[in-house]
Chain A
């Protein structure tokens, strides 16, 4: 069975003042219908760029898809015409952005903005689209949607705005819904509500969800499968339980150690030492090498590939020489 969305060997480069940098390097991912894929990793590891590539929204210049394929239902979207991508965006694939405060246009009412999304893809009158928008606002749990639809974004709270974004994203029942850190900017209580909403929407609409986050807690609640990214590469991939219970890559282990366990004091919270190296300083070897407790000379020379090592029942793909050599 081919997956609904397949990303294969995706490579994205940016022209920067440090020269050309590779933001994504042979990234391969897939999501099946009705499935939720979690994508995790620290800030700057390329999660948003991956999502934007699928939408055909890499800011270009300076960015460029330099190689690989993105297939939706077998159709390659890399190099597809602008017209095709416009028809795709919002209709077949939709995206919820990381920044609810600034992602809505300040000069149009929220109802208007949702109605526009509907009218771009369906031949319906403005009145009809606006009524649908009100219904969607109701659906995403916005109280008194009739009057809220006539509000401007600045009149709504961050959580409400993110709900509006979700309503807009699902307005044309996309087959793939990409949620890029949909809750980072929101209160903890609101975060839980948004995740519940995404779950419900997946149940009702049957969309495949790509949930981007650096919150492992959200992953354990939402995701069926998880891809862990680091410095523009996928370094581990498996079912959510598998990754959470048997992380292989030292970076994945570090991330999971960072999940605050119930009842544990905040002060016990661990952190992976060091920071993600800037893209233009990535060298020959493993990008995680300088933060890794298990680093050996080979790690500095050679990039590990994402493959399954060993035949343990929980074995799954991980890009790590240590795992390959059985050291870790």
Chain B
């Protein structure tokens, strides 16, 4: 039963990705500018002869639909084309960058969910208490402040006032030959500021959401039942209430994943984190169309996978949904 649901979700996922590929392709083609000019620009001068030979080489002289068809069949075999700028296949470019991005996004997601939910739970216990007030203010501020601003403020603070965290890159050069665990620690050290920057905005949202969700659940009849059988406050909060309050949080976490990835793009740029965000930024500046499309493709893929995982975990968490298509 669950297996057939998984298959169904995967099927939707594949269809969705196909749609993404088509849209990406068409949008890029609709954008003003001639890719051949861009490629020629990178190579230096541009005579009409050169342009037409570039067009022929990259298949740009074909009708758009034919190009689309070629692109789709290439993508299906894992070939995302050749970067105009980096002189590498897009697939290998992304393969180098996707690890750091996934690391950043997952750590930020975990950080914001764990901390945010914890804050929300504590706040919901005493809706009129000082912690609750702090969470509300923090949530509003955290939500209102753009990530690049938080990032820049953190950089200023940690670069000049209190230099305990690196503000740039993912690894120190002096660690290149250190033991593997030292290298990992070094990466973790570099990860602190970008992850915190990216997490703050979502952390605020999770805090607010779980505060509201917990308050609703805490007023429900089954919480009264739990108390009536003599369960302690901690069991009531974390066993009985949180399991139920987590359901809307899971939904939002799934939906937020896409935003988190686009947030990562900015954060990577601010902190010079060597992930797909930087790659996207560089390739947009250089109109490196195949790379842009490749980055979009993988970002969409991450969102689709995250949504499938959310859906499955939702079913796991809520027995009422198990077995429902």
Contacts and interface: CB of A to CB of B under 8 A. Distances in A.
Interface string A83-103: 000111111001101010011
A57 B227 contact: yes
B226 interface: yes
Contacts of B222: 102-106
B227 A103 contact: no
B221 A106 contact: no
Interface stretch (B33-41, B229-237, B262-270): B229-237
Nearest to B247: A107
B221 A116 contact: no
A103 B229 contact: no
Contacts of B231: 86, 116, 120
A55 interface: yes
Contacts of A152: 319-320
A195 to B, nearest CB: 21
A246 interface: no
Interface string A211-223: 0000000000000
Contacts of B229: 89-90, 94, 116-117, 120, 168
Contact of A91 (B221, B230, B244): B230
B243 interface: yes
Interface residues of A, number: 29
Contacts of A104: 222, 225
Q: How large is the interface on B (under 10, 10 to 19, 20 to 34, 35 or more residues)?
A: 20 to 34
B220 interface: yes
Interface string A117-131: 100110000000000
A165 B225 contact: yes
Contact of B224 (A88, A94, A103): A103
B285 interface: no
A188 B151 CA distance: 65
Interface string B212-224: 0000000011101
Interface in B289-325: 317-320
Nearest to A154: B320
B224 A97 contact: yes
Contact of A106 (B226, B228, B230, B244): B244
B239 to A, nearest CB: 8
Nearest to A121: B230
A105 B222 CA distance: 5
A55 B232 CA distance: 14
Contacts of A117: 229-230
B240 interface: yes
Contacts of B230: 86-91, 117, 120-121
Contact of B227 (A89, A116, A154, A165): A89
Contact of B319 (A90, A116, A154): A154
Given A89-B230, A102-B220, A154-B319, A107 B244 contact: yes
B221 A97 contact: yes
Interface of B: 220-222, 224-233, 240, 243-244, 317-320
Interface of A: 55, 57, 82, 86-91, 94-95, 97, 99, 102-109, 116-117, 120-121, 152, 154, 165, 168
18 contacts: A55-B228, A86-B232, A89-B228, A89-B229, A97-B221, A97-B225, A102-B222, A103-B222, A106-B222, A106-B318, A106-B320, A107-B318, A107-B319, A108-B243, A120-B230, A152-B319, A165-B225, A168-B229
Given A82-B233, A106-B320, 19 more contacts: A87-B230, A90-B229, A91-B230, A95-B228, A97-B221, A99-B221, A102-B220, A102-B221, A103-B222, A103-B225, A106-B222, A107-B243, A107-B317, A108-B243, A116-B231, A152-B319, A154-B319, A154-B320, A168-B229
